[in-house]
Structure 1
Amino acid sequence: MEVDESLHRITAWCNRHAPATAAAIRPPASADVLSTVQATTGRRWPDDLVAFYGSCDGTERTPAGYLFPGYCPDPLSDVGRHWTRWQTSWAGVVIALEDDETDQEERRVRRALGAGPVTEIYDLDRLMAEPAGATASRFLPAFVPFAEDQSGDDLFVDTRSGPQHGCVTEYLKGDADSHGPLWPSVTAMLAAVAHALDTDGRVGYWRPIVESGQLHWDVP
């Protein structure tokens, strides 16, 4: 499978050039753990995300660089925790917005402007029904976080239906998912990383560099 081939190329390159990063790559996740975490999200994951965790369970959280441009792939245990954290956080945001809208003056001003309730922007049923890749401006249950930059930003796979099902998007502090998909799939992302490493090329504007045996990604 393409996922296995790309991961093999990435791992082989790290073994040769970035041994600290190679040492941080975790062995494959067990089928039981994968099934449990997938059930936690309540979503059927794309085959290539399942294949990724069947080949490696992310990387250890040590100072070992970044396997992906700007991001470290999460162990499955962190995927479940991050997904749950995002759902809890956004449930609190929506409750706070609903409380704000009980203010009569707030409602009067919005009606005068021809605007609907603030909570319509974050309506879960509407956003979940939109196709994969459509901006949600909140973290949906359909988003599966699988990599982090270790400062609060995530990469996620969008499991909503549609032509871009399985696309990979950044969820950024302040900007949410407003920049849209970076790759059409996990398969495409891994292939781009492997190609950049093998050819001393780039992934977008990111260029791979090695510092103290660790893979990092530089923005020239």
Structure 2
Amino acid sequence: MRVDDSWSEITGHLERRCPAVARQVRAPASSESLRRAETAVGGPLPADLARWWRLADGMDGHHRLIPQLQTPMSVESALSSRRTWLDVSEHGDTCAGGQAGSPVYGVWLPQWLPIASDHGGTELFVDLRPGPARGCVGEFYSDAWEFSAPRWRGVAAMLDEVAAAFRSDEPVHGFRIWIDDDGIAWDHPGWRWAMGGSAIVDPDRLRQRYRDLVAELRVPTTTSDDGWTAERIAAHVKRNTELLLAVTDAIAATDPDFDRRMARAWSTGRRRRSASGDRVEPYICYDNSETFDPAVLDRYAAAGRSALADDIERLSERLAGSVGRIRGRRPIVYVHIVDGETLLDTAVEGWFGVLWAVCLRQLPIRVRQLRALRRPA
């Protein structure tokens, strides 16, 4: 698909589905800006990149239009970022060998021009070295300082895949797009239970996540094509919240010595043992298998959406209170975590990491699923 067609489709979806994000698309870049870019890199820009910038000079804000977390950059931002990378890259100006698309480690090359950023040290760039792959799009990580292989053969291919994601939910490098009133996000199965570290979860933030979900449960919905009705989503969340509450209450009933003994289990090689291996007592385990069991979900769903919403509201308040009671501790428990039929983790994990995964990933995912089921007005 041509750049014009892909970009028109992308912006059309933004205007219809999240107009606040659509308003962050900048006006076309000026010819003068494009000439400055060509002067900086010492040659013509790839035709697809030049055309994209002539349609829109990047986006304002942080809107993750390109997976995983990348916001398109303006020409001036791209040139500024390039200068910064070259300033901190000790030998970039002497390591310009190789053809476009070939791996580079430890330096930023002057033939690389940023086009999108996650505003956290990872950027997409076009590789302007010579060769058949000139104009390919790569990703550079500041923590590793490496580029191993192109992600797309060019800007046109990148925009084509993003447009397909908007149009028909096609995955892009394993990521599926979420787009709603809140903006754009890219979901990957491996992120759904990404552990969030040992910092305590803010009970008020956890409450707000649940309030968002309960509010969405009270909005009329249509029937899901994949069997995940609003009632089933609510049943899943209710059962999971019961499990989270049971584990958190069990932790609160122990003393801090339990945390130390579990930490030793973590550090002495038992972290990856199954739940049937050596155990630290009292045995506290979070196992979310039931939250995907059709029989369990059907039994819970029979109560109806309104009753489930009320139950979730009460349970979430109790959970937030229980989380507050273990403030100052670093609890570690056994976990057995699945996502559908996929086993994600059987190990010893920090409990706050699990709660962060619920707060930052699991509850927002369920809210987005519910929003996708909204009945048209």
RMSD: 1.6
Q: Is the 8 A contact 1:169 1:180 kept in 2?
A: yes
Q: Distance in 1 between matches of 2:178 and 2:24?
A: 17
- 2:136 counterpart residue number: 167
Q: Distance in 2 between matches of 1:83 and 1:16?
A: 34
Q: Is the 8 A contact 1:156 1:168 kept in 2?
A: yes
Post-superposition Cα deviations, 1:27-78, rounded to whole Å, max 9, x if no partner, equal: 11111111113212334211111111011000012x5x22111200001110
The structure 1 segments of at least 4 consecutive aligned residues displaced by more than 6 Å after TM superposition are: none
Q: Is the 8 A contact 1:169 1:177 kept in 2?
A: no
Task: State the Cα distance separating 1:178 from its structure 2 match.
Answer: 3.2
- 2:96 counterpart residue number: 128
Q: Distance in 1 between matches of 2:117 and 2:140?
A: 9
Structure 2 residue 146 is the aligned partner of structure 1 residue 177: yes
Q: Compare CA radii of gyration and give the structure with the larger one.
A: 2
Moved more, 168-177 or 133-142: 168-177
Q: Distance in 1 between matches of 2:38 and 2:11?
A: 25
- 2:117 counterpart residue number: 148
Q: Is the 8 A contact 2:17 2:181 kept in 1?
A: no
Q: Distance in 1 between matches of 2:13 and 2:65?
A: 11
- 2:344 counterpart residue number: none
Secondary structure of 1:155's aligned partner? strand
Structure 2 residue 157 is the aligned partner of structure 1 residue 188: yes
Q: Is the 8 A contact 1:21 1:67 kept in 2?
A: no
Q: Is the 8 A contact 1:74 1:148 kept in 2?
A: yes
Q: Which has the higher contact order (CA 8 A, sep 6+)?
A: 1
Query: Given the two structures, how large is their TM-score scaled by the length of structure 1?
Result: 0.80
Q: Distance in 1 between matches of 2:97 and 2:134?
A: 12
Q: Distance in 2 between matches of 1:49 and 1:187?
A: 8
Structure 2 residue 40 is the aligned partner of structure 1 residue 68: no
Give the aligned residue type for 1:218: D
Task: State the Cα distance separating 1:196 from its structure 2 match.
Answer: 1.0
Q: Distance in 1 between matches of 2:44 and 2:125?
A: 14
Q: Distance in 2 between matches of 1:16 and 1:179?
A: 37
Q: Distance in 2 between matches of 1:219 and 1:176?
A: 24
Give the aligned residue type for 2:56: C
Q: Is the 8 A contact 1:136 1:177 kept in 2?
A: yes
Give the aligned residue type for 1:155: L
- 1:201 counterpart residue number: 170
Change (3 A) 1:33 1:178: closer
Task: State the Cα distance separating 1:188 from its structure 2 match.
Answer: 0.4
Post-superposition Cα deviations, 1:181-215, rounded to whole Å, max 9, x if no partner, equal: 10011110000000111002211111111253411
Moved more, 15-24 or 138-147: 15-24
Q: Distance in 1 between matches of 2:48 and 2:9?
A: 16
Q: Is the 8 A contact 2:18 2:183 kept in 1?
A: yes
- 1:103 counterpart residue number: none
Give the aligned residue type for 1:209: W
Secondary structure of 2:64's aligned partner? coil
Q: Distance in 2 between matches of 1:192 and 1:27?
A: 23
Give the aligned residue type for 2:2: E
Moved more, 193-202 or 170-179: 170-179
Identity among equivalent pairs (%):
32
